[in-house]
Amino acid sequence: MRQSPVPRNYFRNSSPNSTAGEGRLQQIPKQRQAKQQSGKSAIQTGDEDEKLRSVGKRTKNQRQKIGFFAHFGSPTSTSHCCADKDSTTSSHMPSTSPALTPGLSSFLKSLKANPIDTSIENLISLLKRRQICHSRSCATATAYLLRSVVSLCRTSESVRLIERVQSVGRRLVAAQPREMVVGNIVRRVLGLIRDEAEDDREAEFALSESESQPQTPRAFDDASLPLDRDSPLLGSERSSRPPLTSMFSLLSHPEPENSLPSTPGSQSPNGHLNGPSKDLRAEVLEGINEIIDELGQVDEQISNYALEHIHSNEIILTHTSSTTVQKFLLRAATKRKFTVIHAESYPNNHEVTHATVSGNRSSDDENLSFESFQKPLIALGITVILIPDSAVFALMSRVNKVILGTHSVLANGGLIAAAGTRVIARAAKVHQTPVVVVSGVYKLSPVYPFDFDSLIEYGDASKVLPYEDGDLVEKIDVQNPLYDYVPAELVDLYITNLGGHAPSYLYRIVSDHYRKEDISF
């Protein structure tokens, strides 16, 4: 049964009223010579649309015949919301049909009205039911929730605040441990609180010390303080501090080490801490707002690097309908002409991928977010070739670059991405094609993949074999893994909102963004 999508697509390619995918690929050299006039590309978009429409027609016919592609092309909103829930890496369609289905937007709306505990429960159940699923939606929901938690937490001590955030964070992570961005955001908020608390303590320490002693012992840290305030998200100075002494810690003086952890307890009774602690919460809230801003801007920031990596007349292969990748390609398309081969990522994300390619996404869902107004690549005169996942290896020899989105990135440089990514990355390795992964820093998790299998989530088996085929379902074991683990050696470059990094450098970004004590909070 798993083989059926292949003949379907071959069938489509050979169909008379559509431009065959392979034929198009052979045209590429010609197109290069012709340098593609804009008028020509308009024609192209036209027949691209026609091609896709015909694909839809074909598959609808097939669906009637086989009853296999039950969800494909069906206009009902329920099937789309279903696709939303299970589509893998992309974060482009936050499941937002506010009236009908609970999702990110309804959660954010309810956040103000509901008491905080209800909101926590609400998010936990949303995560458990996978009604919020994409990395970015989860991250946004977590950040907003934690902002409310922090602002409503009426405590004057950083320790209490940390405990509170930790307990909420633990519950959220337990609700959906494979959605690693939730833990990432919690860790970053914890790091924020700790930093602010430490800054306060240092300022105080420096004050009291400067009265008694001529030199301030932490002059170096104080000097780096304004830097921290300016860019708490970049973490440029912040966490380079603890590892600074890591090798020296063996020989270091025992006193300052012992005094640091004990200060919160010892200093709190003297009442001196109450002054700056009000400030502390405001600072933390500001930091969380910056995280939320970052989540909003991350794709834009990543796409700023597009022109450095995509050159004229290149053939780019991509997979799934990841918005990050789409925006990256769109940015490059404003200046350059290139060809995109898009693997459809059957069966979990193919509908959205088809919609992304054809650009009729906005009419499909009642989602009025910014993404839905985005032009498709074909509108910018880019040749997009939609291929089944099974054709990736065959076409890889012609591909210049593979650009992939991801679900989350792990500390060792490996990644958890939509099922099929590993096949593509491996095929690229065989052909020595560079593999570029675009991902926001918020997806970067300090988790080390001890056990890859536990990180892979399994989805709705009926997408592979619908329950209409009841007699078959009883006889065979159908599995639908949503993710793949891609080892670090298959990736050549990561592009995050901070720039391009080698996989072996990711540990550094991890240590910049998360504090050691929060890694297993």
Which residues in this chain contact another protein in the complex, by CB under 8 A? Answer: 213-220, 243-244, 246-254, 411-413, 448, 450-451, 504-508, 511, 516
Residue with Cβ nearer another protein (167 or 249): 249
The Cβ of residue 332 has, within 10 Å, a number of other Cβ atoms equal to 27
And the tokens for 337? 């002409």
3 state SS of 228: helix
Q: How far is the CB of 517 from another protein (least distance, A)?
A: 12
Residue with Cβ nearer another protein (98 or 500): 500
CA-to-CA distance for 513 and 294, rounded, in angstroms? Answer: 13
Residue with Cβ nearer another protein (14 or 252): 252
Residue with Cβ nearer another protein (467 or 505): 505
Q: How far is the CB of 259 from another protein (least distance, A)?
A: 13
Element (H, E) at 127: helix 116-128
Q: How far is the CB of 219 from another protein (least distance, A)?
A: 5
Nearest by Cα to 444 from 402, 497, 490, 482: 497
Q: What contacts 24+ positions apart, CB below 8 Å, involve 389-394?
A: 389/5, 389/319, 389/343, 389/344, 389/345, 389/346, 389/420, 389/423, 389/424, 390/5, 390/6, 391/9, 391/21, 391/343, 392/317, 392/343, 392/420, 392/423, 392/424, 392/427, 393/423, 393/427, 393/430
Residue with Cβ nearer another protein (99 or 247): 247
Q: How far is the CB of 492 from another protein (least distance, A)?
A: 15
Residue 53: C-alpha distances to residues 12, 29, 390, 488 (Å): 11, 26, 22, 39
Residue with Cβ nearer another protein (121 or 204): 204
Q: How far is the CB of 202 from another protein (least distance, A)?
A: 13
Placement of tokens 């300090």 in the chain:
446
Residue with Cβ nearer another protein (335 or 508): 508
And the tokens for 386? 């939609």
Q: How far is the CB of 520 from another protein (least distance, A)?
A: 9
Query: Omega of the bond prior to 75 within 30 degrees of 0, cis?
Result: no
Q: How far is the CB of 246 from another protein (least distance, A)?
A: 4
Q: Do residues 436 and 402 lie in contact, with contact meaning Cβ atoms separated by under 8 Å?
A: yes
Residue with Cβ nearer another protein (109 or 508): 508
CA-to-CA distance for 62 and 58, rounded, in angstroms? Answer: 6
Q: How far is the CB of 448 from another protein (least distance, A)?
A: 5
